[in-house]
Amino acid sequence: MGNYIYKVINTSGKIETGRISMDDYSSAADYLRNRGYRIIYIKEQHGRFSGPSAKGKSSEGGFLSRFSKISVRDLSIFTNQFGTMMNAGLSISRALSVLTKQTSNPKLTAIIMSLSEDVKKGNSLSAAMSKYPDVFSPLYISMVKAGEVSGNLGDSLIKMSSFLQRDYETANKLKGAMMYPVGVLVFSILIVIGLFIFVIPKFEGFLGQLGAPLPAPTKITFAMADFLVHRGWIVLIVTVVAYALYAKWVKTPQGRRRSDAGKLRMPVFGELNKKSAMARFSDTLATLFSAGISLVECLETVKGVIDNVVIGEAIDDIINRIKRGESLAASLEKSGMFTPMVVEMTGIGEESGSLDTMLKKVAEFYNEEVDYMINNIASLINPIMMVFVGGIIGGVLISLYLPIFQMAGYVH
């Protein structure tokens, strides 16, 4: 059996390349022609061959898909287009076939082709998607399953697309708010380290030649610089080990719980994290509930979406209370984890039969609150960090020039 690489024009009129294993050249050509391809060339490949067989054709997209990632934006666009085509009356297999031709991400294209094959075999779309948990979350699959059951798959996909976009924007804003001060702090530390390693030793030599008496602040500064120059590796090792131990501790159940609890108690950022969690909880629950999924199933899915163990435990308690016959609003209030606004709006939604609408309003409110807090944090961080960095650099410079000032006083 030989290995062959080929270049053809496929049934859509596009150029496609790939590799196949066949008995001979004629068999390879017949196989490609039978699939409706117009052959540009077929060449035998000598040496090791790691591509798929004739039954598992590979293309350039398949190779590139190993190195590509599926972003939230890619998934949101795919979901929106899929939902639009379903609402236009196309069948699932036909819609997926169209999407394989217009999706630019090679990895997502390969997955769509797999979904199409599974659907053609008679499997449900939700079952086919469940094979790719890294791409389609439990929330996504629940929405698709609800759309299949209700016959409104197109609407469910459109709602999911909108949710993905909102969640992506909120997560990016929150990440940006957290990373900005960290980035400024790291940059400031690097500047100070640069001063201690490259600038201060030169001053030390200069002052040593002058024989100037060194005041205590200057001696401390020189000692710190000497330590960083000659024993800086100790600081580096301690930092790396401390980070590794912390990362390992956070992965333990107790460490994860304490870390997540700490995120909710942090000054300023604790409130930001909690409001962001309230927005995500309300938005996710509203999206699922509006699709016709039972309240308990909605909450179980929401628990997997909320990236906080403490809030997840509160949701577990809420689920148990609802199973015992309590209302959602009463369960939220007893958990002590949710804000009065979430509790009150949920109660109004339950009484009026418009729970999803009320939760959407809550999500919109807290998303606006998150935006407002992020803008305030950004405006406050700049002057605080300038004062912090300026204070450190100013203190170092003053300690360096103190001996010179003292000598000037003696001369005077």
At residue 317, the pLDDT reads 93
Q: How many CA atoms lie within 13 A of 143 on its CB side?
A: 25
**pLDDT tens figures, 32-44:** 777 777 776 677 7
At residue 370, the pLDDT reads 85
**pLDDT tens figures, 365-380:** 998 888 888 888 777 7
- Tell me, what amino acid is at 48? R
Tell me whether the CATH fold assigned to 72-165 matches the one assigned to 171-412.
yes
Task: Tell me the DSSP string of 212-275.
Answer: PPPPHHHHHHHHHHHHHHHHHHHHHHHHHHHHHHHHHHHTSHHHHHHHHHHHHHSTTHHHHHHH
C-alpha span between 400 and 403 (Å, rounded) = 7
Which CATH architecture describes the domain 2-64?
Answer: Roll (3.10)
At residue 13, the pLDDT reads 65
**pLDDT tens figures, 308-335:** 889 999 999 999 999 999 999 999 999 9
CA distances from 152 to 115, 144, 179 (A): 19, 9, 40
Which CATH architecture describes the domain 171-412?
Answer: Up-down Bundle (1.20)
C-alpha span between 202 and 224 (Å, rounded) = 14
The pLDDT of residue 55 is above 70: no
352: phi then psi, degrees, rounded to nearest 5 = -90, -5
**pLDDT tens figures, 250-302:** 889 899 899 999 988 888 888 888 998 898 899 889 888 888 888 998 898 88
Q: Residue 239: count other Cβ atoms within 10 Å of its Cβ.
A: 10
Topology (CATH level 3) of domain 72-165: Receptor-associated Protein (1.20.81)
Q: Domain residues of the chain, as ranges? A: 2-64, 72-165, 171-412
The pLDDT of residue 64 is above 60: no
C-alpha span between 266 and 273 (Å, rounded) = 9
C-alpha span between 287 and 359 (Å, rounded) = 9
The pLDDT of residue 88 is above 50: yes
123: enclosing H helix or E strand: none
Three-class DSSP labels, 314-326: HHHHHHHHHHCCC
C-alpha span between 277 and 31 (Å, rounded) = 55
Residue 268, by phi and psi: left (phi above 0), alpha (psi -120 to 50) or beta?
left
91: phi then psi, degrees, rounded to nearest 5 = -75, 165
Closest by alpha carbon to 314, among 292, 338, 293, 296? Answer: 338
Q: Which residue has the higher pLDDT, 191 or 58?
A: 191
At residue 49, the pLDDT reads 43
Give pTM, 2 decimals.
Answer: 0.64
* Structure confidence at residue 79 as a pLDDT band (50, 70, 90): very high
Q: How many CA atoms lie within 13 A of 174 on its CB side?
A: 24
